Structure 1
Amino acid sequence: MVKAVICGYYGKGNAGDEALLASLLQMLPQHVVPLVLSAEPVRTRRRYRVQTCDRMSAWLVWRALRQADALILGGGSLFQDATSWRSPLYYAGIVGLAQGMGLKTIAWGQGIGPLQRRFVRNLTRRAFSRCTAVSVRDVASAELLRQWQVNCTLAPDPVWALQEKPAKHLADLPAPRVAVTLRSHRALTPPRLDTIVKALIAFQKATDTCILLIPFQQSQDRAIAERIQPQLPDSSHIVDWEDPRELKGIYNGVEMVIGMRFHALLMASAAACRCFAISYDPKVTQFMQDFEVPGWELQALPEDAQEMTQAWLEHYANGEALTAAQIEAYRDRCLLHQEFLAEAFRENSY
């Protein structure tokens, strides 16, 4: 058996990162025993039935690494300084510690950047250049690594292959359903949010849909959902989630998604659901381009609520989702991340 410490943005209540962890555990070879660094180790242990420890306890992290054979840097945008420059410092420190101990270090399903500060860029380059193996989820990250002369495996985001679970109580909610996922952001100003709310009210009146407000991260999304719901004229629900696999299952019962969150758009696309994006981040913009998803940049939102409503109504009536063949193709390509792990953890490589 091989012991591997898994490091990522886990236990923070972010559905995208939890979905990445669930995908990683699903793809991990059977002979690899994981220990997950988490902000809420008890909850993570109960949810995934794995060993855990507190990600912010230097002693516990050091001890976990001392007892491990490998470190897996879990998927997502861990090395980026658009949100905070402190985050990449943490991950670079964990990677450097593991590499100093002689552990095999594997970066899996990564999306690198934005890297706006030179010292963060240098830290990131150093961390990846010393990894045993690297897989990434987008072309821009692969190109950056190529510039740094770091070999990598490129495949779609691992959550494409996440096995969903049936969503509890979804059938009890009126149909048709439209999901909305907004998050706090400095560019989502009160006037812009007011415009979105006015547009949603008009959209719901025109379509007679049940609006599902889905906070992907309670600390950033819940307050917005609670502000919107009382203003909606007809059926609406704030949908809380516990298991990201069940969250992915919700989109099987949704007609359209209006979303800012990258993984909300991905989960919806994987369920053959129509998507309309509001982009706050390059990864969302890239998703829009790759999958021909209509939408707006957050800073370029229409000021006229009627214009916004009309765009949503047009897409609701005539927009197209991915075909079954397209979805299957992305899931198959995504499994390159699983093959990557199998190769990285070949039993005779220890």
Structure 2
Amino acid sequence: MKVVISGYYGFGNAGDELILDAIITQIRSKEPGLNITVLSVQPEKTSSFYKVRSINRWNPFKSFWAIYRSDILISGGGGLFQDMTGSPSLYYYLLTILTAKLLRKKVFIYAVGINELKLINRFFTAFTLKLCDRITVRENYSFDMLVRWGVSQAKMDVTADPVLHREVPYVNAKRPQPKIAFVLRPPRTEVAASAGMFSKLCDSLSQRISAKIIFIPFHIEKDLGFTLSVMNSMRSTARLVQWNKPNDLYNIFSEIDMVVSQRLHGLILASLYRIPLVGISDDSKLERYLRELGQKNIAISAETNPYSLLAVIADVWEWRDEFIKNVSNILPSLQLRSKMTAEIFGNEINPAAKLK
């Protein structure tokens, strides 16, 4: 059985690399003999990390040939179907799906999140997704949106983000000086004001609860510059931690006591380790995930007062035992939903596998 995986892979974004690692682990657990090819912008690195075949996603001839020789295309996971960062990336994923369908291949949408789209983009996305054989989405919001777009409920399932399938040991360390990790991303505007706000927040946290501040850039190319500008504006000392392979992040987060994140998978890793967390973003996917955890997202702007954020973070830290109890109750159901995606995928490919 030959599988091609299409997604935002090889760009150095920790969240997407964690997703790819999870997808490969999940589908191999169901079908160990799968022949997997990943479309990546850095195929050599992807092959080395995940022990799969990988080809350059920008090479249309190799991509076409890989899909032609495959049995099924996996598109996902993550937020592929969005136009906030522009329409070209959206149409790349849609065209990849349409290529597979023109070649009469099965297409499985793997635990994606769906965002509101511009009208014309919504039309083409709905048209393309209606052609897919099975669609799994990571929350009810995405399911409801696709239903409104006219996609059949019969071919859809609500699961959860693939990274949530991972079982990690819970260690409730009682360190005298807690480690608070910040996962930041550059704002769309007012970069200097935002950097100043975060530097004041980190300095205040360091003083108020004697915290060690750690910065973890998830998307090195995009996040590192802004993260360094925050660190350089701080009066107190802070530590920068960089990852190489996606699995490095599990080791990093196992040593953290609290997470303040502007990226979704910073929050997901924190919840896996039952670490108190605070989401700070205007991105709806963070808000949707935090709602599932029973937590609130904090939307920020250039006018946000760092001391109001400090009060929220300090409150979460003070009530951390209650948070840990709450997440421990909710997490098993999310993990079960995450594992369902591989079960559904296995059921989808079994008829094709029997024909081989």
In the superposition, the TM-score normalised over structure 1's length comes to 0.91
| Residue pair 2:177, 2:212 contacting (<8 A) in 1 also | yes
1:335 aligned onto 2:342: no
> How far apart, in 2, do the equivalents of 1:111 and 1:349 lie?
32
Mapping for residues 1-350 of structure 1, pairs under 5 Å? 2-28=1-27, 29-115=31-117, 117-147=118-148, 148-150=150-152, 151-162=155-166, 175-187=177-189, 189-299=191-301, 303-319=304-320, 320-321=323-324, 322-346=326-350, 347-348=353-354
Structure 1 residue 96 displacement after superposition:
0.6
Determine if contact 2:206/2:212 at 8 Å carries over to the other structure.
yes
* Equivalent AA in structure 1 for residue 33 of structure 2: H
Look up the equivalent residue of 1:30 and give its one-letter code: P
Instruction: Count residues in correspondence.
Output: 342
CA 1:212 to 1:204, structure 2 compared with 1: closer, same or farther past 3 Å? same
**d(CA) in 2 for partners of 1:326, 1:113:** 24
Are 1:26 and 1:162, in contact at CA under 8 Å, matched by a contact in 2? no
Give 1:233 deviation, angstroms.
4.3
The one-letter code matched in structure 2 to 1:198 is: K
Return 157-166 or 322-331, whichever deviates more: 157-166
Alignment partners' CA distance in 2, 1:174 and 1:56: 50
Q: How far apart in 2 are the matches of 1:10 and 1:174?
A: 39
Aligned equivalents of 1:252, 1:121: Cα separation in 2: 40
Measured in 1, the distance between the counterparts of 2:3 and 2:41 equals 18
Provide the C-alpha distance between the structure 2 equivalents of 1:22 and 1:174, rounded to a whole number of angstroms: 34
- Closer/same/farther in 2, CA of residues 164 and 35 from structure 1, 3 Å limit: farther
**In 1, are the aligned partners of 2:168 and 2:273 still within 8 Å (CA)?**
no
The answer to whether the 8 Å contact 2:167/2:272 transfers is no
CA RMSD of aligned residues (A): 2.2
Change in 2 beyond 3 A, CA 1:272/1:294 = same
CA drift of 1:74 comes to 1.8
Aligned 8 A contact 1:181 1:258 in 2: yes
Distance between the aligned counterparts of 1:140 and 1:327, measured in 2? Answer: 19
1:27 maps to amino acid:
Q
Give the CA deviation at 1:227.
Answer: 1.4
Distance 1:349 1:268 in 2: 43
Preserved CA contact (<8 Å) 1:104 1:131: yes
Q: Aligned partner of 1:310: which letter?
A: A
Deviation sequence 1:32-60 (CA, Å, 0-9, x none): 21100000000000001100000001111
**Aligned-pair CA distance for 1:256:** 0.9
Cα displacement (A) at 1:162? 3.1
User: Partners in 1 of 2:44 and 2:342 — Cα distance?
Assistant: 27
Q: 1:323 to 1:111 in 2, by over 3 A?
A: closer
TM-score, length basis structure 2: 0.90
Q: Which runs of 5+ in 2 are unaligned?
A: none
Share of identical aligned residues, percent? 24
Distance 1:69 1:287, change over 3 A: same
Alpha-carbon distance between aligned partners in 2 of 1:132 and 1:139, rounded to the nearest angstrom = 19
Distance (Å, rounded) in 1 between the aligned partners of 2:296 and 2:254? 20
What's the CA shift for 1:328? 2.3
- Write the distance in 2 (CA, Å) between the matches of 1:143 and 1:294: 21
**Deviates most, 179-188 or 40-49:** 179-188
Structure 1 residues 217-226 or 184-193, which shifts more? 184-193
Distance 2:83 2:226 in 1: 24
After superposition, the Cα gap between the structure-2 partners of 1:281 and 1:11, relative to the gap in structure 1 and judged at 3 Å, is: same
CA contact (8 A) 1:181 1:216 kept: yes
